Amino acid sequence: MKAGRISRWMLLLTLLLAAFLRQRRYPIPLPARLSFLLENPVTEAFVGPSLLLERLDLAPGMNILDAGCGPGRLTIPVARATGPEGCVTALDVQPAMLEKLRRRIHAEGLTNVRIIRASLGEGALEENAFDREVLAMALGEVRDRGAALRELYRALKPGGILSVTEAFGDPDYHRSATVRREAEAAGFSLVARYGSFPAYTLNFTKP
Ligand SMILES: C[S@@+](CC[C@H](N)C(=O)[O-])C[C@H]1O[C@@H](n2cnc3c(N)ncnc32)[C@H](O)[C@@H]1O
């Protein structure tokens, strides 16, 4: 009886480990039906919108990219901060996430959000277009991170900021040294770092 229970636990743990390792190797985006997982007291405390907005040094009128925007946890507060004279481009690969975002934009009465359905790295973004680029808990889900970072580099205005946030516990979490190495390979220079464990933000610029 006891041995049977132990082997069931072992099986469960093995399956969880296999799922985790598979996600690390062949990442798939967080399904839109699980997007509620993004907004909870833990993310609020460590990667909440008010904290991440402080790290962006936003000003009204800016042109901002929210890459891998999901259902708009950050898009909405960023759109409020940049004001009607600014613009937020919200990009995500999943139509169902963007549908959730559309409903939120409508409910908030915002008119300064542009939505793009594309995979980061495919080349959907204009060159030298953005003052700020937000990439929160999204880089690890992108299969070709090199292509994604090169596109972000091209799309950023010189002197603009790419702000990458990662949170431990996310199966797609990447260490700050890895993110830094990959961003620098795309041409970015590190200008600031915030937080450490369980979540950090690295800000890069395009010299
Ligand atoms: C964990 S969610 C984070 C959402 C949001 N940035 C936040 O902090 O609440 C990651 C998002 O990245 C999107 N994503 C994954 N791979 C992508 C890709 N290749 N191109 C664009 N978006 C992608 C997913 O669809 C998902 O909405």
Is 180 a member of any domain? Answer: yes
Q: Coil, strand or helix: which one is 192?
A: strand
> What are the tens digits of pLDDT across the range 122-151?
999 999 999 999 999 999 999 999 999 999
- Give the distance (Å) from ligand 1 centre to CA of residue 180: 19
Provide the residue range defining the domain that includes 188: 31-205
* Residues 120, 142 contacting (CB under 8 angstroms): yes
Is 154 a member of any domain? Answer: yes
Is 170 a member of any domain? Answer: yes
Q: Where are the alpha helices (DSSP H) in the chain?
A: 2-25, 41-47, 49-54, 75-82, 95-108, 145-155, 176-185
Mention every residue, 6+ apart, whose C-beta is less than 8 A from residue 85.
60, 61, 112
Q: Can you count the helices (H) and strands (E) in the chain?
A: 7, 7
- Give the distance (Å) from ligand 1 centre to CA of residue 96: 12
Give the CATH number of the domain where residue 192 resides.
Answer: 3.40.50.150
- Give the distance (Å) from ligand 1 centre to CA of residue 94: 8
- Give the distance (Å) from ligand 1 centre to CA of residue 139: 8
- Pocket perturbation via mutation, ligand 1, pick of 47, 93, 172 by most ligand atoms within 8 A of CB: 93
> What are the tens digits of pLDDT across the range 50-106?
999 999 999 999 999 999 999 999 999 999 999 999 999 999 999 999 999 999 999
Is 191 a member of any domain? Answer: yes
Q: How many separate domains does the chain show?
A: 1
Pocket lined around ligand 1, Cβ cut-off 6 Å: 29-30, 38, 68-70, 73-74, 91-94, 97, 119-120, 136-138, 141-142
Give the per-residue pLDDT at 21: 83
Is 19 a member of any domain? Answer: no
Is 168 a member of any domain? Answer: yes
pTM, rounded to two decimals: 0.92
Give the per-residue pLDDT at 24: 78
Is 18 a member of any domain? Answer: no
Is 187 a member of any domain? Answer: yes
